[in-house]
Structure 1
Amino acid sequence: MLLSPSVPLVGALCAGFLILHYLVQRLHHYKKAKAWNCEPPRPGPSGFFGIPGFYRLSKAVREKRWIDYLAEQYDVVGRNTFSMQFLNRRMLTTIEPENIKAVLATQFQDFSLGTRHEQFDPLLGDGIFTLDGAGWSHARSLLRPQFTRDQVADLALLDDHIQHLLKLIPKDRSSFDIQRLFFLLTLDSATHFLFGESVGCMNSSETTDVLAKCAVRNAQGFADAFTTAQDYLAARSRAQGLYWLVNPKEFREANRRVHEVVDYYVNMALAKKRNPEKKPEGGRYIFLDALVAETEDPKMLRDNMLNILLAGRDTTASLLSSTFFYLARHPPAWNRLRQEIVEVFGDSKNPREITHTKLKDIPYLRYVLNEGEPYLETVAPIDRSQPPLTVPEVLRLQPPVPVNFRVATKDTSLPVGGGPDGRSPIYVQKGVIVAYSVFAMHRRTDFWGQDATTFRPERWEENGKHGWEYLPFNGGPRICLGQQYALTEASYTVVRLMQHFDTLENADPNPRQEPIKNSNLTMMHDSGVAVRLYSSGGSLNG
Structure 2
Amino acid sequence: MLFTPLLVAAVLLILPTITSSVKWELTERRFAKSHGTRKRSRSNPWWDIFGVYPLYLFIRAMHEGSNFQFIRKQHAEHGNTMINYILGRESIYTVEPQNVKTILATNFSDFSLGKRHDSLYVTLGDGIFTSDGEMWAHARALLRPQFLRSQVSDVRLFDKHTEILISILKANETAQPKQAVEIQTLLYRLTMDTATEFLFGESVNSLSSSAGSSDVAKGNVTAVAANAGRGGFAEAFNSVQDILVLRIAFQSLYWLVRPPSFDKSNKLVHDFVDHYVDRALSYARTKGNRPAESSESKYVFLEALVEQTEDRKILRDQLLNVLLAGRDTTAGMLTWTVYLLARHPAVFDKLRAIIIERFGDTPNAENKMPLTFENLKSTEYLRFVLNEVLRLYPSVPQNFRFATKDTVLPTGGGPDHKSPFLVHKGQGVYYSVWGMQRRHDLFGEDADDFRPERWSERTFQWEYLPFNGGPRICLGQQFALTEAGYTVVRLLQEFDTLENFDPPEKDVFPKVNALLTMSHKTGVHVRFASSTRC
TM-score (norm 1): 0.87
Q: Give the match for residue 386 of structure 1.
A: none
Which shifted more, 53-62 or 429-438? 53-62
Q: Is the 8 A contact 1:341 1:498 kept in 2?
A: yes
**1:349: Cα distance to partner?**
7.5
Going from structure 1 to structure 2, the CA distance change for 1:278 and 1:148 (only over 3 Å counts) comes to closer
**1:17: Cα distance to partner?**
9.4
Q: Is the 8 A contact 1:42 1:81 kept in 2?
A: no
Q: Is the 8 A contact 2:211 2:228 kept in 1?
A: no
1:480-514 deviation digits (Å, cap 9, x = unpaired): 00000000000000011111111111122x23355
1:179-206 deviation digits (Å, cap 9, x = unpaired): 1111110000000000000001122179
Q: Give the match for residue 22 of structure 2.
A: 23
Residue 173 of structure 2 aligns to a residue whose secondary structure is: coil
Q: Can you give the 5+ residue segments of structure 1 that lack an aligned partner in the other structure?
A: 208-216, 370-391
Which shifted more, 487-496 or 232-241? 232-241
Q: Give the match for residue 415 of structure 2.
A: 420
Q: After TM superposition, list the pairs within 5 Å mapping 1:467-482 onto structure 2.
A: 467-482=461-476
Supply the distance in 1 between the matched residues of 2:457 and 2:142 (Cα, whole angstroms).
Answer: 40
Residue 399 of structure 2 aligns to a residue whose secondary structure is: strand
Q: After TM superposition, list the pairs within 5 Å mapping 1:383-532 onto structure 2.
A: 392-463=387-458, 465-508=459-502, 510-513=503-506, 515-520=508-513, 521-532=516-527
Going from structure 1 to structure 2, the CA distance change for 1:27 and 1:364 (only over 3 Å counts) comes to same
Q: Is the 8 A contact 2:142 2:308 kept in 1?
A: yes
Q: Give the match for residue 263 of structure 1.
A: 274
1:69-106 deviation digits (Å, cap 9, x = unpaired): 222211132x0000012324321000000000000000
* Aligned residue type for 1:360: K
Going from structure 1 to structure 2, the CA distance change for 1:324 and 1:107 (only over 3 Å counts) comes to same
Going from structure 1 to structure 2, the CA distance change for 1:462 and 1:514 (only over 3 Å counts) comes to farther
Going from structure 1 to structure 2, the CA distance change for 1:233 and 1:17 (only over 3 Å counts) comes to closer
Q: Is the 8 A contact 2:28 2:39 kept in 1?
A: no
CA RMSD of aligned residues (A): 2.7
Which shifted more, 220-229 or 116-125? 220-229
Q: Give the match for residue 89 of structure 2.
A: 89
Alignment partner of 1:302 out of 308, 312, 316: 316
Q: Is the 8 A contact 1:153 1:489 kept in 2?
A: no
Q: After TM superposition, list the pairs within 5 Å mapping 1:61-72 onto structure 2.
A: 61-72=62-73
Q: Is the 8 A contact 1:199 1:206 kept in 2?
A: no
TM-score (norm 2): 0.88
Alignment partner of 1:343 out of 349, 352, 357: 357
Give the aligned length: 503
Alignment partner of 2:208 out of 186, 203, 208: 203
Establish whether residue 355 from structure 1 lines up as the match of residue 355 from structure 2.
Answer: no
* Aligned residue type for 1:116: R
Going from structure 1 to structure 2, the CA distance change for 1:276 and 1:69 (only over 3 Å counts) comes to same
* Aligned residue type for 2:69: D
1:20-79 deviation digits (Å, cap 9, x = unpaired): 6763553243222332111112312373432222222222222222122222211132x0
**1:346: Cα distance to partner?**
0.7
Q: Can you give the 5+ residue segments of structure 2 that lack an aligned partner in the other structure?
A: 213-226
Residue 82 of structure 2 aligns to a residue whose secondary structure is: strand
Supply the distance in 2 between the matched residues of 1:518 and 1:529 (Cα, whole angstroms).
Answer: 12
Supply the distance in 2 between the matched residues of 1:452 and 1:14 (Cα, whole angstroms).
Answer: 48
Residue 309 of structure 1 aligns to a residue whose secondary structure is: helix
Q: Give the match for residue 290 of structure 1.
A: 304
Supply the distance in 2 between the matched residues of 1:66 and 1:9 (Cα, whole angstroms).
Answer: 41
* Aligned residue type for 2:526: V
* Aligned residue type for 1:64: G
* Aligned residue type for 1:426: F
Going from structure 1 to structure 2, the CA distance change for 1:14 and 1:394 (only over 3 Å counts) comes to closer
**1:524: Cα distance to partner?**
0.7
Q: After TM superposition, list the pairs within 5 Å mapping 1:16-415 onto structure 2.
A: 23=22, 26-45=25-44, 47-77=48-78, 79-169=79-169, 170-172=172-174, 173=177, 174-204=179-209, 219-220=229-230, 221-276=232-287, 282-348=296-362, 351=365, 352=368, 353-369=370-386, 392-415=387-410
Going from structure 1 to structure 2, the CA distance change for 1:19 and 1:70 (only over 3 Å counts) comes to closer
Supply the distance in 1 between the matched residues of 2:396 and 2:361 (Cα, whole angstroms).
Answer: 34
Which shifted more, 403-412 or 348-357? 348-357
* Aligned residue type for 2:509: I
Q: Is the 8 A contact 2:188 2:327 kept in 1?
A: yes
* Aligned residue type for 2:377: K
**1:440: Cα distance to partner?**
0.3
Supply the distance in 2 between the matched residues of 1:306 and 1:17 (Cα, whole angstroms).
Answer: 42
Supply the distance in 1 between the matched residues of 2:82 and 2:24 (Cα, whole angstroms).
Answer: 22
Residue identity over aligned pairs, in percent, reads 49
